[in-house]
Amino acid sequence: MSPLTRRSLLAGVGTVAAMCCGAGCSTYGTPRAPAETGAAPAPSPSAAPSAEQGLAATSDIPVGGGRVFAEDGVVVTQPRSGTFVAFDATCPHAGCLVDQVTATGISCPCHGSVFDVDGGAPLEGPAGAPLAARPVRVENDRIVLA
């Protein structure tokens, strides 16, 4: 058996550190399952509407809540009946995608930031900037990116 060299020791330590970080990051940044949050499951990418259909029907966005459209990188909320607003789904803190809209706000799974459903302002967590606004409009009871 060959003696342990400094180079092989450091390579082994680096490999173990990378594996631990990868395991922690993949678990920490994993979106919560709908059953854990009480939220409706997101549609599968194959069920994504075409551009002509828009993002969703207005009836798909609950009053006081919203829905994340990860494939489009947008979150749409309805803070008051008939008022629809949208934000970029990228958290300004570390670039993770927000994953759900709950009674407390729009949440990011990476570091726990929560944003206001009306204006995208940070309510808690490390994010210091709001979610960027995205223009949307309603056409024939469908929410469309403007």
Same domain membership, residue 114 and residue 81: yes
Same domain membership, residue 22 and residue 61: no
Same domain membership, residue 81 and residue 107: yes
Same domain membership, residue 113 and residue 70: yes
Same domain membership, residue 85 and residue 26: no
Same domain membership, residue 62 and residue 112: yes
Same domain membership, residue 126 and residue 72: yes
Contact 16, 9 (CB under 8 A): no
Same domain membership, residue 15 and residue 38: no
Report the SS3 class of residue 37.
helix
Whole-structure pTM value: 0.66
Instruction: Give me the domain span that covers residue 134.
Output: 34-145
For 69-110, what is each residue's pLDDT tens digit?
999 999 999 999 999 999 999 999 999 999 999 999 999 999
Contact 92, 131 (CB under 8 A): yes
d(CA 89, CA 96): 8
For 44-75, what is each residue's pLDDT tens digit?
343 444 445 789 999 999 999 999 999 999 99
